[in-house]
Amino acid sequence: MYPSNRLQRTPIYQKNFFQEINNDEQAMELALQLAQLGAYWQEVPVGAIVLDGQNRVIGMGVNQTLYGHDPTQHAEIVALRDASTFMGNYRLPGSHLYVSLEPCMMCMGALLHARLERVIYGASDPKTGVCHSVLHHEQYAQLNHHTTIEGGLLQEQSATLLRSFFKARREKKR
């Protein structure tokens, strides 16, 4: 049983859920707003949204691993659960996920299982990113589903948010 998604009680969620997004930059800006909310909650600042085929927001997520005492509560997974619950199906063909940080192996596996059409990320993750950094998912032709992956959208804003979060965390430990 997962703890209630506290994100659903926030104004950013209530204002943006099922709203139409006009372009990739606007989608990533919403993911970055969610990441900032995660930082406010003292979670690693990663935000994600899922758009349906008509570019409407059907899922949103922020990292909630600390809050949920659950290592699987990454922003992408939270957004997928939100979208899947809303759509009544774990498969989300034609949907796009925007996330402020390159997905890890766990998240990429879930994204592939959901049959997303596209995954767009902001900052690269040289330690755990499996889209283009540590691994290159497209090298694995034997996977039964492939999705289009694009990286670097609003990369600097995403990376700056992460750097400032971890810098503040290190300074607080001193």
Q: Looking at this protein, which amino acid is placed at residue 82?
A: D
The three-state secondary structure class of 161 is: helix
Query: Of 29, 76, 102, 138, which one is the catalytic site residue?
Result: 76
How far apart are alpha carbons 127 and 46 in whole angstroms? 15
DSSP E strands, 13-160 = 47-51, 57-62, 96-101, 118-123, 148-151
CA-to-CA separations, 65 to 42, 56, 60, 68, in angstroms, rounded: 10, 26, 15, 5
Q: Residue 102 catalytic?
A: no
Cα dihedral 96→100→102→108 (10° resolution): -40
CA-to-CA separations, 54 to 15, 22, 91, 94, 169, in angstroms, rounded: 18, 10, 16, 9, 39
> Which residues are known catalytic residues?
76
